[in-house]
Structure 1
Amino acid sequence: MDLVNRFLNGLKAALSTEELEALNTAWGATKEDIDTLRAEYPNCPESLIGLLESMDGTYWRNYGEKEITVCILGSDVEEGRYPYYLLSTQQMLESSKEEEDVSYLLEYEDDEDAVDSKINPEGLFPGKYIHFSDCMNNGGTSRLYIDFNPSDEGVCGQIVRFLHDPDEYEVIANSFDEYLQGLLDGGFVFLNEEE
């Protein structure tokens, strides 16, 4: 959990005062929700569990009488400057029930780079991925997944980023730990509005 603690400490130092105040009202997921996530996804990374034990989502999430919407994650979009929300455990369980079809992108020969070769060309299937994050515009432009059913070129637990218009699926890290470390190494650039 050292990585999660370092991530959270760096995040709190990088957030604006208003965002930090909102985030400080958050609490961790219930043991029951964590147990359900682990039961449905036995390969769920401990670092994601650790993050959820600290805060159970930041995406239009109600904590008592306070609703928070604080972006705490990022990706490679716009050179790493595009912020994302962490979904709650319940949101992850619910949104990961649908198939993410990538086959329509593979039908177009001129769009061969639309699906990373590390991703199973048959798609992301329920029970084989966790949708854990939506981008700042409510996920319409970009979403992040942990993929447990990669192609032969990929690795189980890789982080997949979906980007809309033009649609593409790309592996941006080999694990959730590597993903968090990348955000740390990048200095939380996605939170810097002046960049």
Structure 2
Amino acid sequence: MDVVNRFLNGLRAALSSEELEELNTACGATKEDIDALRAKYPNCPESLISLLENIDGTYWRKYGENRIAVCILGSDVDEYPYYLLSIGQMLESSKEEEDVSYLLEYEEEEEAVDPKINREGLLPGKYLHFSDCMNNGGTSRLYIDFNPSDEGVCGQIIRYLHDPDEYAVIANSFDEYLQDLIDGGFIYLENEEE
């Protein structure tokens, strides 16, 4: 996957030497885990699979004797770098419904849910939670949406942001999402070092 290779090369160049050393202890997901992900999410983007074949998570993920916590992803909110969840973490955290209806109760809050997102919310088996922001996901999380509204596209990337709560589509595909991070020069990693 060209975009994944470009992303990984750019990421490695943008990380601090300490973060890179920590990330270099990571390894890719097992074939069994990848098969389990594909079985549950047959529409899972090949670029995400390829990324997981290289790095099976950076969110307090244990690899042998090493436990790593390296933010490698970003979003349209530059001040928050994000961790990549492992396949196990993705499958576990995607079991529950993500309700958006509380944001639709008041007319002025309608802007808090992108019209490309299904008003039923993010339903189990119809989305994949793949990333948490640097504060353990309390402020922001990222999802791949397989059940969009008529205005959206299957596989779009949704960013949830807390306070005020908002669900927004930030890319039409995982490939586009990675390309946006590359094109943005990994600026979210620079903010983390400050």
If the length of structure 2 is used for normalisation, what is the TM-score? Answer: 0.98
Contact residue 81 and residue 192 of structure 1 kept, 8 A: no
The residue aligned with 1:108 is: 106
Which of 154, 157, 160 pairs up with 1:159?
157
Supply the distance in 1 between the matched residues of 2:6 and 2:161 (Cα, whole angstroms). 28
The answer for unaligned runs of 5 or more in structure 2 is none
Which of 184, 187, 192 pairs up with 2:182?
184
Supply the distance in 2 between the matched residues of 1:82 and 1:124 (Cα, whole angstroms). 22
The answer for unaligned runs of 5 or more in structure 1 is none
SS of structure 2 residue aligned to 1:143: strand
Q: For residue 134 of structure 1, what is the amino acid of its counterpart?
A: D
Q: For residue 135 of structure 1, what is the amino acid of its counterpart?
A: C
Q: For residue 98 of structure 1, what is the amino acid of its counterpart?
A: E
Q: Hey, which bits of structure 1, 4+ residues long, moved more than 3 A?
A: none
Supply the distance in 2 between the matched residues of 1:46 and 1:186 (Cα, whole angstroms). 22
Q: For residue 19 of structure 2, what is the amino acid of its counterpart?
A: E
- The equivalences for 1:118-133 within 5 A come to 118-133=116-131
The residue aligned with 1:17 is: 17
Q: For residue 13 of structure 1, what is the amino acid of its counterpart?
A: A
- The equivalences for 1:44-83 within 5 A come to 44-77=44-77, 80-83=78-81
The residue aligned with 2:169 is: 171
Output the aligned Cα RMSD. Answer: 0.9
Shift of 1:81: 3.4
The residue aligned with 1:37 is: 37
| Paired residues, number | 193
SS of structure 2 residue aligned to 1:150: coil
SS of structure 2 residue aligned to 1:56: coil
Shift of 1:82: 1.8
The residue aligned with 2:144 is: 146
